């Protein structure tokens, strides 16, 4: 996507030679520990993310699955410094990316990383592009911002290459179009080109295909897969669609009420779920059952996050819950090799083993 002897590549090479990177080879690319993001509203404190720890390795694809309000987007927005403060506040936690804590580092440092080494794709391509600016201006912006010695012509050349790469034909002409001249799928391609133009080490994709048709979704997923393979970028893929995760992700993390319920290799989560919530989610997907059979439904509603939750947040809706699920605090623990669950009963070996 980017020519051999361009400034970006040189800079990446320079940074690769730095000692911190040598040490980080054994460390994960991103390591999040005990992240808590609360929103202080008039109606109380909403604990949107409440003690989340996970890591992403180089080149790995991590899927974060959960229903709306489970804290999957807030987790990623917190790391990127995109939470409006106030009302939001990051109460505790660390997010170590290549030796730098994204949560506590000064803004100029975060700005250097954001949009360059970590980029993001958002759900709605209609609203995440600026309607007043040509695609060309929006595409070269990250390059111009992150390289002091960049020229506009050089950046434009790269931008055209990037558009070609994401499958937009006639890129040299179309790069001067405005966003409204593209269809939804095309706009999402432009977003992907923009996110990957700086060759980031980590791409955060927040429901990138939810607003698209299935046929276009298939195109975009193939595109992300191919580019990731070529660039070696690690991806955090946020979605509520268990089907999308199955084909794309190496590892899956299921979230509920701001906490991680279960995390494991994709195979493991689908074949042997270790949390009743994951199992219930899978059973409520209509895809495999024929007409007439009753769909499994999870009784009740997700909890109100502004109330204090004692015990497991899923306990009131869980069919397997016992007395202590409502009172004992939960903790994500390894159950079998590489498979962690926060279900007390699974941890005790009583169910789902």
Partner 1 sequence: MTEPAQTTAPENILELEDLKTHFPVYRGFIMKRQSGTVKAVDGVSLKVRRGEVLGLVGESGCGKSTLARTILQLVPTTSGTVILEGRNLGSFSSRELREARTGLQMIFQDPYASLNPRMTVFDTLAEPMIAHGRCTRSEATREVVQLMETVGLAPRYMRCYPHEFSGGQRQRIAVARALALKPSLIIADEPVSALDVSIQAQILNLLSELTREMNLSMIFIAHDLSVVKHISDRIAVMYLGKVVEIGEATSVIENPQHPYTRALVSAIPVPDPEIEHSRKRIVLPGDPPSPLNPPTGCSFHPRCQHANDGCTKTVPVLEKTTGSQEAACLRLGEF
Judged by the rule CB under 8 A, the positions of this chain that interact with partner 1 are: 67-68, 183-186, 213-219, 221-222, 240-247, 266-267, 270-271, 280-282, 284-292, 294-298, 301
> Which CB atom, from 147 or from 219, has the smaller least distance to partner 1?
219
> Which CB atom, from 145 or from 283, has the smaller least distance to partner 1?
283
**At its nearest, how many Å lie between partner 1 and the CB of residue 20?**
35
118-154 burial: b if 16+ Cβ within 10 Å, else e: bbbbbbbbeebbeeeeebbbbbbbbbeebbeebeeeb
217-249 burial: b if 16+ Cβ within 10 Å, else e: bebbbebbeebbeebebbbbbbbbebebbeebb
> Which CB atom, from 157 or from 167, has the smaller least distance to partner 1?
167
**At its nearest, how many Å lie between partner 1 and the CB of residue 302?**
9
Q: How far apart are CA 257 and CA 76, in angstroms?
A: 15
**At its nearest, how many Å lie between partner 1 and the CB of residue 210?**
10
**At its nearest, how many Å lie between partner 1 and the CB of residue 59?**
18
**At its nearest, how many Å lie between partner 1 and the CB of residue 320?**
16
> Which CB atom, from 44 or from 184, has the smaller least distance to partner 1?
184
Strand 339-341 with 333-336, pairing: antiparallel
**At its nearest, how many Å lie between partner 1 and the CB of residue 333?**
24
Residues paired with residue 256 on neighbouring β-strands, in sequence order: 259
> Which CB atom, from 63 or from 200, has the smaller least distance to partner 1?
63
**At its nearest, how many Å lie between partner 1 and the CB of residue 72?**
12
> Which CB atom, from 70 or from 75, has the smaller least distance to partner 1?
70
**At its nearest, how many Å lie between partner 1 and the CB of residue 102?**
29
Q: To which residue do tokens 């410094």 refer?
A: 81
**At its nearest, how many Å lie between partner 1 and the CB of residue 183?**
5
**At its nearest, how many Å lie between partner 1 and the CB of residue 315?**
16
> Which CB atom, from 30 or from 212, has the smaller least distance to partner 1?
212
> Which CB atom, from 102 or from 261, has the smaller least distance to partner 1?
261
SS3 per-residue string spanning the chain? CCCCCCHHHHHHHHHHCCHHHHHHCCCCCEEEEEEEEEEEECCEEEEEEEEEEEEECCCCEEEEECCCCCCHHHHHHHHCCCCCCCCEEEEEEEEEECCEECCCCCHHHHHHHECCCEEEECCCCCCCCCCCCCHHHHHHHHHHHHCCCCCHHHHHHHHHHHHHHCCCCCHHHHCCCCHHHCCHHHHHHHHHHHHHCCCCCEEEEECCCCCCCHHHHHHHHHHHHHHHHHHCCEEEEEECCHHHHHHHCCEEEEEECCEEEEEEEHHHHHHCCCCHHHHHHHHCCCCCCCCCCCCCCCCCCCCCCCCCCCCCCCHHHCCCCCHHHHCCCCCCEEEECCEEECCHHHHCCCCCC
> Which CB atom, from 13 or from 301, has the smaller least distance to partner 1?
301
> Which CB atom, from 41 or from 284, has the smaller least distance to partner 1?
284
């Amino acid at each position: 996507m980017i020519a051999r002897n361009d400034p970006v590549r040189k800079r990446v090479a320079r940074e690769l030679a730095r000692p911190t990177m040598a040490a980080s080879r054994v460390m994960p690319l991103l390591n999040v520990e005990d992240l808590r993001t609360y929103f202080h509203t008039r109606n109380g404190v909403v604990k949107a993310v409440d003690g989340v720890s996970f890591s992403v390795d180089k080149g790995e694809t991590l899927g974060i699955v959960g229903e709306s309000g489970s804290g999957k987007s807030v987790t990623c927005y917190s790391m990127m410094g995109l939470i409006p403060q106030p009302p939001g506040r990051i109460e505790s936690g660390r997010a170590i990316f290549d030796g730098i804590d994204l949560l506590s580092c000064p803004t100029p440092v975060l700005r250097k990383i954001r949009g360059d080494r970590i980029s993001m794709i958002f759900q709605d391509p209609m609203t995440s592009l600026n309607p007043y600016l040509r695609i060309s201006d929006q595409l070269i912006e990250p390059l111009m911002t992150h390289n002091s010695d960049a020229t506009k012509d050089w950046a434009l050349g790269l931008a055209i290459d990037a558009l070609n790469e994401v499958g937009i034909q006639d890129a040299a002409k179309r790069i001067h179009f405005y966003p409204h001249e593209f269809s939804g799928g095309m706009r999402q391609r432009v977003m992907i080109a923009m996110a990957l133009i700086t060759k980031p080490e980590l791409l955060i994709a927040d429901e990138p295909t939810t607003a698209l048709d299935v046929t276009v979704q298939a195109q975009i997923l193939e595109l992300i897969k191919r580019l990731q393979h070529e660039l070696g970028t690690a991806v955090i893929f946020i979605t509520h669609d268990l089907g999308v995760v199955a084909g794309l992700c190496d590892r899956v993390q299921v979230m509920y009420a701001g906490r991680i319920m279960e995390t494991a290799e994709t195979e493991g989560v689908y074949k042997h779920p270790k949390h009743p919530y994951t199992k219930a989610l899978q059973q409520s997907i209509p895809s495999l059952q024929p007409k007439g059979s009753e769909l499994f439904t999870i009784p009740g509603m997700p909890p109100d996050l502004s109330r204090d939750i004692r015990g497991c947040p899923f306990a009131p809706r869980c069919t397997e819950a016992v007395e202590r699920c409502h009172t004992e605090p939960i903790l994500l623990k390894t159950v079998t090799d590489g498979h962690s669950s926060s279900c007390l009963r699974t941890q005790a070996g009583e169910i789902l083993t």
